Chains A and B, each alone.
Chain A
Amino acid sequence: MKHLDERISDLVDDRLDHDERDRALAHLTSCDHCRQQVELERYAKAALRSLPEVAPSDKLVASLLALAEPGGPLPPDRPSFPVSAAPVAGWRTRTDRPAGIPGTTRPERSSRVSRRPARVVRYAAAGALSAGAIAVLLASLGGPTSSIQPPPATVSVVPPVDQFTVEHARSTGNLPFAEPASLLVPASPPPLGGGR
């Protein structure tokens, strides 16, 4: 029996057309396995929807936005001037950036400039890794629904016609007026020059 597999998610998400939906529902009446898969999918969908919305904190938003800003002081190894404690790794937010901070001398700015390409590379690498992880996750979700049995593909076959012919002849054993011998005689090649 061919299971619904990929069509389970389409059925749960109501993406099947009328005829496909009817066929899928008819299949569910006799297939416990697919019925369980449909229920699991519906449960997962409902659970995801029931999760509360999580709003990011203002500081996180600001930090993320600041990543797009050019420049900005690098987090020092040791704090040399009083700065407000940043929630993550000493990053400064835009609002935290002091206009004139004691100690922000030209040498610091030059070191900041010289370390900017490295930071950009780090952020780019982190972004690429994150994007890759998200892509793998989405690809795994976008694959066919897993099932106990692998989804059966329509197998390309060549019927064993000679064997079928012999079996047909053998099946006439109970017919006293049929002619089984004719079925067993190999066909002769057509005469040269065409038959008719």
Chain B
Amino acid sequence: MPMRTRIRTRTRSRTLLPFLLPAIGLYGLLMVYPLVRSISLSLTDSEGGPDSDFIGLANYREMLHDPAVRPALVNTLVFTVIVVLAQNAIGLALAALLRRWGAYGKALSVVLLLPALLSSLMASYIWSSLYQQDGAVNSLLNATGLGSLRHVWLGDPSTALYAIAVVHIWMSVGFAAAIYAAGFRTIPEDVLEAARLDGANRWQVFRKVEWPMLAPSVTVAVTLALFGCLRVLELPLVMTQGGPANATDTLGLSIYRTVFDSGNIGYGTAQSVLLLVVVTVLVTASNALLRRREGRVQ
């Protein structure tokens, strides 16, 4: 019996290989190879032309001392933390709320997904217009008697990053809510009934029963949110060009500027590698933490 299984596995692997090869080929050629080339480019002073010199880790050393890179990194991280937290908190709250509303709730959850259909580019343009000094947001505040809250949203360093964060949250909340809604649906009714019978009020039911059982949803939602936030580029590019005073400069934007405006490809690619490292580290760490939590609470 064991020998038969072994032979079967070996033959299975071999006949399955052709199915894998096209994907590996495409992925290897157009993703892995450029990535490797990126890393080697980051070790040069290339400007895109034929001659470039190998300069070792000089680009990386310059990055450490570049006064523009650290704010960009910090802004990217702050932005990410704010958006991921808000997106998930609001998405969870919405999912918790809407599941009790039957058909009306379903319709609402669809409406929430509309902003996800917009491209970041268009959303940036639209919200830039809304955030203008005489734009819709300020006009609305005026009209509802909250005129004192008016700001130069995108021009004030203390509000700019948050203003942009709002746009990203607007675009991604519906999606987070959908993930959590599905998560709620996987919780068995009898477990909830048991908790209620024990006299737990709604908040206690949520904290002790539902929240732990939502752990897989949290993992998925947070991971996807992280992916989306860390590379944010179009939003600050269009809305604030990284200003005012670098308040909204992100890593993605800094890379874009270095490569396309300054033409300094070697240095820009080095920053890309930094971004890649940040993404990989954060996503792997958060994923590991969340998966472990899943195992613990379930």
State yes or no: do A and B come from one complex.
Answer: no
A interface, CB within 8 angstroms of B = none
B interface, CB within 8 angstroms of A = none
